[in-house]
Amino acid sequence: MKLVRYGERGAEQPGLIDAEGRLRSLVGHVPDIAGAVLEDLGALRALDVAALPLVEGEVRLGACVGGVGKFICIGLNYSDHAAESGMAVPPEPVIFAKFTSAICGPNDPILIPRGSVKTDWEVELAFVIGKRAKHVSEADALSHVAGYCLANDVSERAWQTERSGQWSKGKGSDNFGPLGPWLVTLDEIADPQNLPMWLEVNGERMQQGSTTSMVYGVAYLVSYLSQFFTLHPGDVISTGTPPGVGMGHKPPRYLKAGDVVTLGIDGLGTQRQLCVDEG
- What CATH number does residue 207 fall under? 3.90.850.10
**pLDDT at residue 79, as a whole number:** 81
- For residue 239, the tally of other CB atoms under 10 A from its CB is 26
- Helix, strand, coil content of the chain in percent (nearest 5): 20, 30, 50
**pLDDT at residue 130, as a whole number:** 98
User: Residue 32, class by beta-carbon neighbours within 10 Å (0-12 exposed, 13-18 middle, 19+ buried)?
Assistant: middle
**pLDDT at residue 252, as a whole number:** 95
Q: Prior bond to 178 cis, omega within 30?
A: no
Residue 47 located in a structural domain: no
Residue 13 located in a structural domain: no
Domain range for residue 144? 66-277
Please choose, from the candidates 56, 121, 62, the residue with its C-alpha nearest in 3D space to the C-alpha of residue 259. Answer: 121
Residue 180 located in a structural domain: yes
Residue 208 located in a structural domain: yes
> Which residue ranges in the chain fall short of pLDDT 70?
none
Give the whole-angstrom CA distance, residue 38 versus residue 212.
Answer: 27
What is the tally of structural domains in the chain? 1
Q: What is the pTM assigned to this prediction?
A: 0.96
**pLDDT at residue 89, as a whole number:** 82
**What is the SS3 assignment for 41?**
coil
**pLDDT at residue 167, as a whole number:** 86
Phi/psi at 140 (nearest 5 deg)?
Answer: -100, 0
Residue 150 located in a structural domain: yes
**pLDDT at residue 165, as a whole number:** 77
Residue 59 located in a structural domain: no
Residue 24 located in a structural domain: no
Residue 98 located in a structural domain: yes
